[in-house]
Chains A and B, each alone.
Chain A
Amino acid sequence: MTLMQKFLGASAALALTAGTAAADPAILFDLGGKFDKSFNESAYNGAERWAAETGGSYAEVEIQSDAQREQAIRRFAESGANPIVMAGFSWATPLAEVAADYPDTKFAIIDMVVDAPNVRSVVFNEHEGSYLVGMMAAMASETGTVSFVGGMDIPLIRKFACGFAQGAAAVNPDITVIANMTGTTPAAWNDPVKGSELTLAQISQGSDVVFAAAGGTGVGVLQTAADEDILSIGVDANQNYLHPGEVLTSMLKRVDNAVYDAMTAGADLETGFNVMSVANRGVGFAMDANNEPIVSYDMLEAAYGAAADMASGELSVHDYTSDESCPALDF
């Protein structure tokens, strides 16, 4: 067998495997990487859950830079992957460019709206979930000061902070809420050391409950809070297990459900605008054996009460992104 034959044989084999991969779903992770213990990992868990339940396989990619986004979407679309799920708002611009070129492929994007006939846009009411954990934080606080560590300073993260401050103020009008952002670049999603420093600074200002909405940076926040014996609140995925008994709760943003739903729907994915709220259990807070001993009955009663009011429409929480201002917090 000559080298050329070998080469052709190998490429034919590759073409065949590429053929069988067609119509599998694909998932594209954002820059934090799929093991960020938070947003991306939640998306990854959703995909894994789908794979475990159906026995199917899916294509995935962790990109290295912004420049690769459009290329990644196109390559998956060309290979016949369907649907293609994207985790993160940064995918919106490349997707808006690409979607029209592949009208038969269904796309799902999480955290941003792309107006195209073959795209499902999934957005979360993070302010509602943050409101609930804000209430719990204010009730757990003994010093009357709670704090927030955000990742990159963007409207989406301010939305978390604003909901959190409103919830805290609802149970204790005199509460002090300290809010800090890790940075202004995407590197802020993955800087646990800076997260840890910010937490220490907030503790020195009297905070005894800290809420991290910062992707991979939050790992440092939760670690420092546990080291310094104050309570912390995780985000996106259930992070209660990271430090059992020291993480008050986690504000759940069921990215995993959004990914799982999209993959389950397959090529018949219903497109359009999809809001995940407290009412449809898209956002909420995590209760499990790890935090059961530290969450009091009063906290649960208040939080569940507020959740019921939100679902019925009696209680509406201000959304920072609606007018870029927050009644409960100054940035």
Chain B
Amino acid sequence: MDVMPKWADVILIPLISILLAAILSAFLLLSMGQNPWDAIVMMVEGSFGSSYSWGYTLYYTTNFIFTGLAVSVAFHARLFNIGGEGQAVLGGLGVALACLYVPWPHWTVAVLGSATAAALFGAAWAFIPAILQAKRGSHIVITTIMFNFIAAGLLNYLLNGPIKVPGSMELATAKFPEPTHLPTFEELFSFGETSLFRAAPANVTFFIAIAACFAVWWLIWHTRLGYEIRSLGHSETAAKYAGISPTKIIMVAMLISGALAGMMAINNVQGEAERLVLDNVAGAGFIGIAVALMGRNHPFGILLAALLFGFLYQGGGEIALWMSIPSEMIEVIQALIILFTGALDQLVRMPLERLFLSLRRAKT
């Protein structure tokens, strides 16, 4: 009993949510004596105005695609994995170890190795919460969020001693060796005189993220495993009756989810920083939740939502650079958008559903 056409659910609701958040942000900017229109122009220019700004927007987008996909795969099994942050931290550790301690001959081989390491480490970090959920019923929300803190503590310990550069004041590993350098968009798309994406961090990982979107789409809707994951998500008892083992599906879904979150590290650790720093995930794991919710857990929706959040991140950074707004207010604006698109879905949905119902009644 769909009260609304599909397009309204997928496009109209998110658009109205963003509009509401934008209006509220505009009032906020006005109250600080800033011109909201200037801010919007600055955000759009700063994230889509040149190949350079596209390079940044797509870099952030790549991060959010991975974490968004991670949340969505678990969500299809009705598991709310909010440990993307911690799994991405561990993924970063995997990438760093693979890049620092294995002598790779060429980036094509290195990226396979580091992707495997990232996925393994991320999956391993999701393993314990998953097995606690599957065997003991410990709630996945609680355990995954606690594992975020453990991951932060673990990385902090490692960067303060074992893998830190001795004598350095920074909490960071050494720079990765040259052969692990992933080609950036600048190197890929600049020919002769024309230099595109100059110095922007977007790199070949973007295409891995697109491939991951296809892979997740194939997995969820075109494989037996995907069917089992979705059945478990819709009804555990029905899934059991059909001979699907909930324990196995919970484990598999969470491991895939953790692996995807971990693979974000190919982009930010190997592609951008080329060394492991303490705060490398910078909230992308949590943004992934909003991205998945907004993208309705469909890879294509996630791709679009990730692009939107990439725009917000890059645009927000531009505002911080060129307008005298305290950095806390930028966070408030980003939070407003997450609040409206993620948490206040019903606020827009209920009146819209009523509107469509009355329209339909008027027709019949």
For window 96-133 of B, CB contacts with A under 8 Å fall at none
> Contact at A185–B278, with CB atoms within 8 Å?
yes
Tell me which of A7, A59, A185 has the highest count of chain B C-beta atoms within 10 A of its own C-beta.
A185
For window 64-88 of A, CB contacts with B under 8 Å fall at 64-68, 70-72, 74-76, 78
A42 CA / B56 CA spacing, docked (Å): 32
> Nearest residue in A to B161 (C-beta to C-beta)?
A184
Tell me which of B167, B279, B330 has the highest count of chain A C-beta atoms within 10 A of its own C-beta.
B279
> Contact at A67–B282, with CB atoms within 8 Å?
yes
> Contact at A10–B317, with CB atoms within 8 Å?
no
For window 3-30 of A, CB contacts with B under 8 Å fall at 7, 10-11, 14, 18
Q: Say which residue of A10, A61, A64 sits within 8 Å of B331 (CB atoms).
A: A64
Question: Interface code A148-165, partner B: CB below 8 Å = 1, 0 otherwise?
Answer: 000001111000000000
A60 CA / B325 CA spacing, docked (Å): 10
Answer whether A62 and B282 are a contact pair too, CB < 8 Å, given A14-B41, A67-B272, A155-B169: no
Name the A residues within 8 Å of B275 (CB-CB): 93
Q: Say which residue of A7, A59, A71 sits within 8 Å of B317 (CB atoms).
A: A71
> Contact at B327–A62, with CB atoms within 8 Å?
yes
Answer whether A63 and B327 are a contact pair too, CB < 8 Å, given A68-B317, A93-B170: yes
Indicate whether A324 reaches chain B with its CB closer than 8 angstroms. yes
Name the B residues within 8 Å of A98 (CB-CB): 199
State the Cβ distance, A4 to closest chain B Cβ, in Å.
13
For window 27-55 of B, CB contacts with A under 8 Å fall at 37-38, 41-42, 45, 49, 52
A93 CA / B277 CA spacing, docked (Å): 11
A68 CA / B320 CA spacing, docked (Å): 11
Indicate whether B171 reaches chain A with its CB closer than 8 angstroms. yes
A67 CA / B287 CA spacing, docked (Å): 16
Name the B residues within 8 Å of A112 (CB-CB): 169
Answer whether A65 and B279 are a contact pair too, CB < 8 Å, given A10-B38, A101-B199: yes
> Contact at B321–A75, with CB atoms within 8 Å?
yes
Q: Say which residue of A64, A89, A93 sits within 8 Å of B330 (CB atoms).
A: A64
Q: Say which residue of A10, A64, A65, A156 sits within 8 Å of B41 (CB atoms).
A: A10
State the Cβ distance, A305 to closest chain B Cβ, in Å.
32
A92 CA / B317 CA spacing, docked (Å): 21
Answer whether A184 and B160 are a contact pair too, CB < 8 Å, given A14-B45, A72-B321, A155-B167: yes
Determine the interface band of chain A, counting residues with CB < 8 A from chain B: 35 or more
Indicate whether B322 reaches chain A with its CB closer than 8 angstroms. yes
> Nearest residue in B to A6 (C-beta to C-beta)?
B37
> Nearest residue in A to B175 (C-beta to C-beta)?
A93
> Contact at B317–A185, with CB atoms within 8 Å?
no
Indicate whether A33 reaches chain B with its CB closer than 8 angstroms. yes
Answer whether A62 and B56 are a contact pair too, CB < 8 Å, given A14-B41, A184-B160, A185-B278: no
> Contact at B37–A66, with CB atoms within 8 Å?
no
> Contact at A156–B169, with CB atoms within 8 Å?
yes
Name the A residues within 8 Å of B52 (CB-CB): 78
Question: Interface code B301-328, partner A: CB below 8 Å = 1, 0 otherwise?
Answer: 0000000000000000110111010110
Tell me which of A65, A76, A92 has the highest count of chain B C-beta atoms within 10 A of its own C-beta.
A65
Indicate whether B172 reaches chain A with its CB closer than 8 angstroms. yes
A60 CA / B327 CA spacing, docked (Å): 11
Name the A residues within 8 Å of B38 (CB-CB): 10, 14
> Contact at B330–A324, with CB atoms within 8 Å?
no
Tell me which of A33, A67, A75 has the highest count of chain B C-beta atoms within 10 A of its own C-beta.
A67
Indicate whether A186 reaches chain B with its CB closer than 8 angstroms. yes
Q: Say which residue of B41, B49, B156 sits within 8 Å of A185 (CB atoms).
A: B156
Indicate whether A274 reaches chain B with its CB closer than 8 angstroms. no
> Contact at B321–A185, with CB atoms within 8 Å?
no
Q: Say which residue of A62, A74, A324 sits within 8 Å of B199 (CB atoms).
A: A74
Indicate whether A90 reaches chain B with its CB closer than 8 angstroms. yes
Name the B residues within 8 Å of A14 (CB-CB): 38, 41-42, 45
A134 CA / B112 CA spacing, docked (Å): 55
> Nearest residue in B to A29 (C-beta to C-beta)?
B327
A185 CA / B277 CA spacing, docked (Å): 11
Q: Say which residue of A10, A59, A93, A186 sits within 8 Å of B322 (CB atoms).
A: A59
Answer whether A93 and B279 are a contact pair too, CB < 8 Å, given A67-B273, A74-B199: no
> Contact at B279–A67, with CB atoms within 8 Å?
yes
A324 CA / B167 CA spacing, docked (Å): 8
Question: Interface code B183-203, partner A: CB below 8 Å = 1, 0 otherwise?
Answer: 000000000000000010100
State the Cβ distance, B314 to closest chain A Cβ, in Å.
9
> Contact at B45–A93, with CB atoms within 8 Å?
no
> Contact at A64–B327, with CB atoms within 8 Å?
yes
State the Cβ distance, A11 to closest chain B Cβ, in Å.
6
State the Cβ distance, A263 to closest chain B Cβ, in Å.
17
> Contact at A66–B280, with CB atoms within 8 Å?
yes
> Contact at A76–B321, with CB atoms within 8 Å?
yes
A88 CA / B171 CA spacing, docked (Å): 14
State the Cβ distance, B272 to closest chain A Cβ, in Å.
7
Name the A residues within 8 Å of B169 (CB-CB): 89-90, 112, 154-156
State the Cβ distance, A36 to closest chain B Cβ, in Å.
13
Name the A residues within 8 Å of B17 (CB-CB): none
Answer whether A67 and B41 are a contact pair too, CB < 8 Å, given A33-B327, A61-B321, A154-B169: no
A324 CA / B320 CA spacing, docked (Å): 38
Selected A-B contacts with CB under 8 Å, 17 pairs? A7-B41, A10-B41, A11-B49, A62-B320, A66-B279, A66-B282, A67-B273, A67-B279, A70-B201, A72-B317, A74-B199, A89-B169, A153-B160, A155-B167, A184-B160, A186-B171, A324-B167
Q: Which 5 A-B pairs have the closest CB atoms?
A: A65-B282, A154-B169, A62-B327, A10-B41, A66-B279
Contact residues of B with A, CB < 8 Å? Answer: 37-38, 41-42, 45, 49, 52, 56, 156, 160, 167, 169-172, 199, 201, 268, 272-273, 275, 277-280, 282-283, 317-318, 320-322, 324, 326-327, 330-331
A62-B320, A67-B273 given. 20 additional CB < 8 A pairs? A14-B42, A61-B321, A62-B327, A63-B327, A64-B327, A65-B282, A66-B278, A66-B279, A66-B280, A68-B317, A72-B321, A89-B170, A93-B170, A98-B199, A153-B160, A154-B169, A155-B167, A156-B169, A185-B171, A186-B171
